[in-house]
Amino acid sequence: MYFKDHTYYNYYVNKPLEMIINIGWLSYEHFYEMGDTEPEFIEKLTEIIINDDFYDYKFNRIRCNTSCRLCKESILQPYINKKRNALMDMPLGFCELLIPSQVNNQYYASPGLILHYIRDHYYKPPQEYIDSVMALDLTQPFNAQDCFDFVRESNQVKLR
Question: Quick one: 71 or 80, whose CB is closer to Zn ion?
Answer: 71
Chosen residue from 23, 49, 68, 109 binding Zn ion by CB under 5 A: 68
Quote the least distance from Cβ 103 to Zn ion, whole Å.
Answer: 28
Of the ranges 7-15, 22-30, 44-52, 70-78, which one interacts with Zn ion (CB under 5 A)? Answer: 70-78
Quote the least distance from Cβ 72 to Zn ion, whole Å.
Answer: 7
Total residues in contact with Zn ion, by rule CB under 5 A: 3
Contacts of 137 (CB under 8 A, 6+ apart): none
Question: Quick one: 68 or 157, whose CB is closer to Zn ion?
Answer: 68
Question: Quick one: 58 or 116, whose CB is closer to Zn ion?
Answer: 116
Chosen residue from 12, 15, 27, 71 binding Zn ion by CB under 5 A: 71
**Applying CB under 5 A, which residues contact Zn ion?**
68, 70-71
